[in-house]
Structure 1
């Protein structure tokens, strides 16, 4: 008899996880203002809540035998130099002598307007690069997060119906996935 396995969509799990992390951090920091907790205490509390949520989610998923389906859109494989090429921009700023008198004044105003427009265009390009970079970072986080949970839930066929082994696997992976962040915070606190 074949046992039917339930599946969660990876994209949905990732979005819900980002929301949980964001709400947890926001709640901890907003309540931390009222209790005068330090930044490190708030970080420990946030990480503790996130680790507990991750542990409970993985334990439940392993106990129920849940798997993950990758439904994230596929991206074109980018090669080095595809977007900007291998050239780095090198240019010297020109020095313009506008002269004296009314002609120099008008030319100075036109140059000022031109430079303002150029700066606005460069800021728009910088904003586009920022949002593209943020998108790439989120895509990398999704891939890492999805691969990590997919690896954990690959054990769900072995742990289905056994809460003890599900909890052991979940605790192990929670320590691996969140423990290093605790370690970084602890080392930072020691080095102060």
Structure 2
């Protein structure tokens, strides 16, 4: 069979479609499990099995057709991304807080005002630092998933020059890499179910 020189898939397109497919499968399995009263463990195993089968087919066919990934996402965790996301933290004027009523009279009013100011300042600093922390954690998690999934996939598809047109070799390597990618997920599911 004659194949074109190379197939390239954009990493950005692949990452968006992967997230969409994962969410769609999980939601469909969860909705279908509502009527049959499946447990979270059963839904997790079914979802992972469906996604694992799709992943096996994707890798095997990608190796068979000589698929390559084109990295067009770049670095996820940069100073500019952290700065851009930290700008989304709440500003001082966006907090509306009503302090507790401390009593009648001038003493209660003064204590209420002081408590309101102190609590507002503490909340502003907490929201600011927790906002930065939240976005940095989101960026770190995204960078981790990107490296684990897409960088490793690029390494997998470097074997496509050896597997192009050879279905047995493509399926063998697809099974091997699918086992490597999915065994730890199954391990976590079974550990959580039987140990906790």
TM-score range, shorter chain: 0.7 to 0.9
RMSD of equivalent CA atoms: 2.3
Q: Counterparts of 2:122 and 2:34 in 1: how far apart (Å)?
A: 39
Shifted more, 142-151 versus 111-120: the winner is 111-120
Q: Which residue of 1 aligns with 2:64?
A: 63
Q: Which residue of 2 aligns with 1:108?
A: 111
Q: Counterparts of 2:122 and 2:35 in 1: how far apart (Å)?
A: 42
Q: Deviations over 1:73-97 (max 9, x none)?
A: 33548xxxxxxxxxxxxxxxxxxxx
Q: Which residue of 2 aligns with 1:144?
A: 148
Which structure 2 residue ranges, 5 or more long, are not aligned? 80-102
TM-score by length of 1: 0.78
Which structure 1 residue ranges, 5 or more long, are not aligned? 78-99
Matched, 1:188 2:185: no
Q: Which residue of 1 aligns with 2:53?
A: 52
Shifted more, 52-61 versus 67-76: the winner is 67-76
Aligned residues: 169
TM-score by length of 2: 0.77
Alignment map for 1:54-133 (pairs within 5 Å): 54-74=55-75, 75-76=77-78, 102-121=105-124, 122-133=126-137
Q: Deviations over 1:105-133 (max 9, x none)?
A: 22212123213422542235423421331
